[in-house]
Structure 1
Amino acid sequence: MAEYTPMMMQYLQVKEKLQDAIVFYRLGDFYEMFFEDAKVASKELDLVLTGRNAGQEEKVPMCGVPFHAANTYLQRLVSKGYKVAIVEQLEEAGSSKGIVKRDVIKIVTPGTMLPDEQNEKDVVTLASIYDYGYGYYLCIVDLSTGETIGCDVSYNSLDVKAIAYKNNIKEFICQSDFNQEMIDMFKEMNIIVSFFEDTMLENRYLKHLSSMDDVKVIHSYGLLINYLELTQKRVIDHLQTLKYEDVNEKLKMDYNTILNLELVRSLKNDSKSETLWSFMDHTSSSMGSRLLRKLIEHPLVNQNEIEKRLDQVTTIKNDLLCMNQLKKSLENIYDLQRLIAKIALGSSNPIDLVRLLKTLEEVPNIKLLLKKYEVFHELLDFEEFEALKDRLENALVEQVPVSIKDGGVFKEGYDVELDRLNALSNGGKDWILELEQREKEKTGIKNLKIGYNRVFGYYIEISKGQLNQVKDEFGYIRKQTLTNQERFITQELKEKEDEILKAQENALKKEYLLYEELLAYIKDFLNKLQHLAMRLAYIDCLLSLAILANQPGYQRPTFHEYRLDIKQGRHPILNKLMKHGKFVANDCFMEHDDVLMITGPNMGGKSTYMRQLALLVIMGQIGSYLPCVSATLPIFDQIFTRIGASDDILSGQSTFMVEMNEANYALKHASKNSLILFDEIGRGTSTYDGMSLAQAMIEYIASHIKAKTLFSTHYHELTSLENQFDNIKNYHVLVHEKDHHVTFMYKVVKGKADKSYGINVARLASLPSKVIARASALLNELEGQRKVVMQSFDLFQEESVPFEYEEVIDTLKSVDVNRLTPMDALLLINKLKKDIQDE
């Protein structure tokens, strides 16, 4: 059997070490993929699968992408969970005998992929997770900014899930013996898992750790760093000091709470639109927007810190001139965090350096605007980088090229040797123009011209019709024959060409050296530039909160040890989306350990009211003004929700099982300082099972946890608990009923609801009148039967009470009228009638 060609043997040697990655193999102007990689890539990227002769009888499967457009294809593969290894040519073709040297320059993975300019507000992180025997230690890095955080987390999967979601972790690194159930959970979340064993940490990275005593931190950080060096093929210069993030120092929200409240991602389309983040985001920079997202996902629990942030927001809000000028300055800055990362990772271009300069030019203006206010003094502890700014200003032309390979980056006067080489090159070009004029005069050929291409260099071009005027004494040497022209060279032209091209080549080499020197100079400022970037991002967030605070109807919240008192509160997102004046404002008052039992029909606004309270609490603890007439809030340590918008179908769990798991997590972890929001607990099982569980949970919260709670329910029987517990209070959503037609008022008031209005909702859905009439008759009959039974019904009595129509009632209660077609309704009525007749 014939051997593979030398090029294919080289490829196979590289691929042998990269079994878990698709290899982009540079051949000229293309990245090629071979064998199984080609089959996968052609399918995922819609590429034509071809074949290549590789020394065997059969062609090797192959597909490719142009190198100049490779990043687009690479991002598509990585977004689907693939790793991509970039194999580059390390020398020019023909510079040495034999095959061109190639090697891996980078392995791009879901956790190390830098977001493109269209997605600058995206946060993508990579995390190591280390099992130390009592829990997990995570080290999380955003490679695009260098920010690195560490945190302890329990073995509870929901705790790990929340951290993964909040930090948008795209890839976990763990050792091969890591917990399989946790690995399966990561895969369900579309998080890639990479196995890596080396936890040894080299000395040069120890400076990033505040303590050398904690073994779990060193092992977890070692996993992270060694994996980064493996994939990036370089020392990672721009990593910031590992910051320990104590989850107890921020408002804790589990995965389901963050998801259900749509803080940063919409449940409808998994995007930022119609989320709290999009609504609050008035930032001017991408790094400001990313930090705002982090503030939303990590609200404060220290009242002094909240008040301090509110003081800063209020100061900007009250100085409109300062606010407008600050916004103009911040609009002129670029994403400094990612500029720094690109410089550190060797992927920057001259345009990035110009953007760095323009950003630094705005720093003194921002400092000047804020330094007159004492509340900003700590925030303005950054340098103005005069030396770096001067160096960049003296070095760079205004309109730099995209690539250093194109030349023309540096100003005249920046470097004497470069000026000399440019003069030779430019002088040569002037000489060419003079030569063209001389040759026209000498030959009498007016349309003679001197051109240039990469293959032949400089040439004299004469049209076919003028060839008879070319004489031997001109010294023209025929070089190329075209359809309508002939091309010639002369000895003099060839010598000058060598001189010009040599000067151009040397000038480009000199520019590259100067560029590398400039990058090395900038790298000395990386830590201080990162500090500046964090400060600018935070100032941008404060400005965003101040712009929000300036909107009509926004008030600064006050804080109280235990009282919650919101007057005319509005849902921050719906209030903006609905036409002016359409959204109905609501009060909310709770003291100590109040549990508000909320009854009323579907579509009445119960879930909206609950979400509204949670969002206002989160905004308050971020340090934001609130949409209300007034607001007094306690400081909550945790928020738990069970609102039912994110039932976990993919994991194979029923709605009821998901509901019980989420309720269990809340009941086990909530404290008296927590906020609990339970919407329709018990709906996924039979009437008495659901009612029993709901009552038991309410009683447990009211008597044991004593956390402030909103508990909506369809079980009107539970409203009697108000008479048994001092801290349980009945509320309901107002409904106006006239002639069997209802109008939802969306107003939450004291007292219990009289009935569920399910048939009225069905009428609003325009079900056939015969169906509505029959359902009304059935309901009256069933309610009559129910009253007889309920006279002796005790929720927790030892012996069960016979109830012949329980299944009928369960069926009616479980009906989702919003999804009921007329045919479904008729079939349902027929079934109910048959069931009753059979009794």
Structure 2
Amino acid sequence: MKEATGASPAMAQWFAIKAQHEDALLFFRMGDFYELFFADAQAASAALDIALTARGQHQGQPVPMCGVPVSQAEIYLARLIRRGFRVAIVEQLEDPAEAKKRGAKGPLKRGVVRLVTPGTLTEEALLEAGRANFCAAIVAHEGKFGLAWADISTGQFETEQAGPDELTAILGRLDPAEILASEEIPLGAHATRRVETKRMALALPISAEAARRGLAQKFGAASLDAFGDFSSAEALAASFVLAYIEATQMGSLPRLSRPASAGLSGQLAMDAATRASLELASARGGTEAGSLLGAVKRTVSPAGARLLASWVTAPLCRLEKLLARQEAWLALRDSGQHEAVRAALRGTPDMARALGRIALGRASPRDLAAIRGGLEAGTALAPLLPKGAKLLENAATALIPAPALLATLQAALAEPAPLRLDEGNAIAPGFDGELDAERALRDDTRRIIAQFQTELAQRYGVASLKIRHHAQLGYVIEAPAAAVEKLRAHPDLTLRQAMANGARFMSAELADLDRRITEAADRAAARERAVFADLVGDVLGEAAALGRCAAALAGLDVPQSAAALAGPGTWCRPEVTDEAGLLIEAGRHPVVEAALVGAGSFVPNDCDLSPDRRVLLLTGPNMAGKSTFLRQNA
């Protein structure tokens, strides 16, 4: 990096911040643009295909520069993140007008408000709707590996302990966007996602016991044991990932669920080769099309799609949970309520991710609208769910968490909600009287002046009185010569200007109206921000219940997806027992069958691996279907 010697005040500020984030591109806020300089500008211009220009000189050389509009920053951030860059967002920490009033000299105060990395994304434009976005940490401790992973966009936070031979299988299941691990820990195919954290000075615990205490404190418990049984390796990994997330959010910790140990959830372990061969969530080309998930997915919401993907990639091996899932989709199908439930779920907003952004202070009007939409969906769904299925009954109890909040959001939010609060008109007319008054001043000045003119004419008994706007004097009262003496008798009026055919008067009341009209746009925006902040506070006050509602909506979308899949009669419920045998009659490979639509039909196959038939010998020429038979029964 270049030396800061001889830099202008603004560039000296850039150099100081860059020294703290050498491995990230700086999005340096200057007015309505994020500017990039020197090597950052050269790298970003090439990656984004935008013009590389120059801004002044430094040490006798032009300063390379490029920039992106603040209003379109998410679009450019998405492209940079996909190309493997990390971006530090440098904002102006004081208002230019306020700084000018104080007589401040030099550049505005600026600082990094967030480090945008692949594993800490929250914006819709940067995320895949149907895919979790995990940041994972791995710690080696006493011969075992502790893993912890968090998706800050939804709040999911889990841990697991693994042996050396289990590590790559877990990473294959999670597919984290970022992995925090020392160079000594082998990551296999995920090695390119290893993150260098040595320069970040993370606040890591000095021992496993300290990690346990710290985690318990963060989640408001006396002991980590309140959340389950966690190994020391898991506690250390959980502390590691939380410290990294806090560092990227400049000390703010997002809304995360209480830690849960995935090692206790009874999931089937698969090595990386088996997972790749079965093409559970992605085909060999990396796309969902051609995978098992792509063949069976009938979800209608982003959260439901993510949950189904997690179920497909982490099959259960606990009979009780498997039977509960089967019971749920069968209840929807057999009750006749499936289509109604599917219709109510269709297009349900992504409450979990909206809540994640709100908790991090990045709420937009559309995030509050997503909370409103999710609550409306929950209210519509609750009476539709059939009785008798445990998963459905549990979901029903979480679907209507905050009726008062829903009523408030319905009354408060404009439809459609703007993308950003600074676009205005996020709050519906009629919700806040003060905001309505400021908007009226801003948008309907002529009508307000006419009303005030009528009021003054009646008050002073001068029907010919007029209120007019003067370039130098602002709003004034104009009266004809015949009424001048009458108006001068009123102590609240001040003669400002005599004219040949009359006079101009001013009053404190009119001066205040003039000022309020002039400042109305700023006051309306400020009041709208205040109302919006109150609504955000209301949502955060119900965050825990809203999180359960979001989980319930996703948890209903997956069984309705299974019911939709089974509806045409080409799928059935397998009889699952704890016995060792496997018997499949007329089985079909779902991915191959889907690929044959319109080109032929799949020939069903039986598979009998009863206790007295533990081995099958498959023979046949190439392309006869041996591998397909193995995969469809796996």
Same fold flag (TM > 0.5): yes
Give distance in 2, aligned partners of 1:529 and 1:567.
44
Deviations 1:761-806 (A, max 9, x none): xxxxxxxxxxxxxxxxxxxxxxxxxxxxxxxxxxxxxxxxxxxxxx
1:211 aligned onto 2:215 = no
Q: Is the 8 A contact 2:152 2:254 kept in 1?
A: no
- 1:119 and 1:253, CA in 2 relative to 1: closer, same or farther beyond 3 A? same
* 1:399 aligned partner: 416
* 2:605 aligned partner: 586
The letter of the residue matching 2:361 is G
Among candidates 292, 313, 330, match of residue 276 of structure 1: 292
1:527 aligned onto 2:527 = no
Identical columns (%):
30
SS in 2 for 1:318: helix
Q: CA deviation at 1:421?
A: 2.9
* 2:152 aligned partner: 143
- 1:203 and 1:612, CA in 2 relative to 1: closer, same or farther beyond 3 A? closer
Q: Is the 8 A contact 1:332 1:359 kept in 2?
A: no
* 2:506 aligned partner: none
Q: Is the 8 A contact 1:183 1:193 kept in 2?
A: no
**Structure 1, 495-504 or 385-394: larger mean CA deviation:** 495-504
Deviations 1:314-346 (A, max 9, x none): 1111233x1111011101421111111111112
- 1:582 and 1:239, CA in 2 relative to 1: closer, same or farther beyond 3 A? same
Q: Is the 8 A contact 1:30 1:64 kept in 2?
A: yes
Q: Is the 8 A contact 1:334 1:355 kept in 2?
A: yes
Among candidates 71, 74, 80, match of residue 74 of structure 2: 71
1:562 aligned onto 2:565 = no
SS in 2 for 1:149: strand
1:333 aligned onto 2:348 = yes
Q: Is the 8 A contact 1:313 1:543 kept in 2?
A: yes
* 1:90 aligned partner: 93
Give distance in 2, aligned partners of 1:313 and 1:514.
42
* 1:324 aligned partner: 339
- 1:474 and 1:305, CA in 2 relative to 1: closer, same or farther beyond 3 A? farther
Deviations 1:26-47 (A, max 9, x none): 1122211112212222222223
The letter of the residue matching 1:405 is D
Q: CA deviation at 1:2?
A: 7.2
Q: Is the 8 A contact 1:332 1:362 kept in 2?
A: no
Question: Which structure is higher in RCO with an 8 Å CA cutoff and minimum separation 6?
Answer: 2
Q: State how 1:624-643 maps to structure 2 within 5 Å.
A: none
Q: CA deviation at 1:171?
A: 0.8
Q: Is the 8 A contact 1:78 1:113 kept in 2?
A: no
Give distance in 2, aligned partners of 1:474 and 1:165.
88
* 2:55 aligned partner: 52
Give distance in 1, aligned partners of 2:273 and 2:267.
17
For these two proteins, the number of residue pairs brought into alignment is 561
1:106 aligned onto 2:111 = no
Point out the structure with max Rg over C-alpha: 1
Deviations 1:497-544 (A, max 9, x none): 643131332222122112112111110111111111111111100000
Q: Is the 8 A contact 2:418 2:426 kept in 1?
A: yes
Q: CA deviation at 1:233?
A: 2.0
Q: Is the 8 A contact 2:331 2:389 kept in 1?
A: no
Q: CA deviation at 1:217?
A: 3.5
SS in 2 for 1:75: helix
* 1:831 aligned partner: none
Q: CA deviation at 1:265?
A: 0.8
The letter of the residue matching 2:161 is D
* 1:605 aligned partner: 625
The letter of the residue matching 2:584 is I
Q: Is the 8 A contact 1:418 1:510 kept in 2?
A: yes
Q: Is the 8 A contact 2:395 2:553 kept in 1?
A: no
1:168 aligned onto 2:175 = yes
**Structure 1, 520-529 or 492-501: larger mean CA deviation:** 492-501
Specify every segment of 5 or more residues in structure 1 that has no aligned partner in the other structure, as ranges: 436-449, 459-471, 476-491, 615-839
SS in 2 for 1:60: strand
Deviations 1:137-185 (A, max 9, x none): 11100111000000001122xx2222222222011123xxx34352675
Q: CA deviation at 1:374?
A: 4.7
Among candidates 250, 262, 282, match of residue 265 of structure 1: 282
Q: State how 1:719-758 maps to structure 2 within 5 Å.
A: none
1:182 aligned onto 2:186 = yes
- 1:27 and 1:248, CA in 2 relative to 1: closer, same or farther beyond 3 A? closer
Q: CA deviation at 1:562?
A: 2.1
1:574 aligned onto 2:574 = no
- 1:577 and 1:564, CA in 2 relative to 1: closer, same or farther beyond 3 A? same
Q: CA deviation at 1:569?
A: 0.8
Give distance in 2, aligned partners of 1:15 and 1:587.
64
Q: CA deviation at 1:378?
A: 3.0
Q: CA deviation at 1:422?
A: 3.3
1:4 aligned onto 2:23 = no
The letter of the residue matching 1:145 is T
Tell me the TM-score normalized by structure 2.
Answer: 0.82
Q: State how 1:477-488 maps to structure 2 within 5 Å.
A: none
SS in 2 for 1:290: helix
**Structure 1, 190-199 or 228-237: larger mean CA deviation:** 190-199
- 1:183 and 1:307, CA in 2 relative to 1: closer, same or farther beyond 3 A? closer
1:122 aligned onto 2:131 = yes
Q: CA deviation at 1:474?
A: 11
Deviations 1:353-378 (A, max 9, x none): 12321221221221111153454323
The letter of the residue matching 1:570 is R
- 1:277 and 1:61, CA in 2 relative to 1: closer, same or farther beyond 3 A? same
* 2:483 aligned partner: none
Q: CA deviation at 1:219?
A: 2.4
* 1:634 aligned partner: none
The letter of the residue matching 1:605 is G
Q: Is the 8 A contact 2:119 2:177 kept in 1?
A: yes
The letter of the residue matching 2:351 is L
* 1:482 aligned partner: none
- 1:164 and 1:500, CA in 2 relative to 1: closer, same or farther beyond 3 A? same
Q: CA deviation at 1:93?
A: 2.7
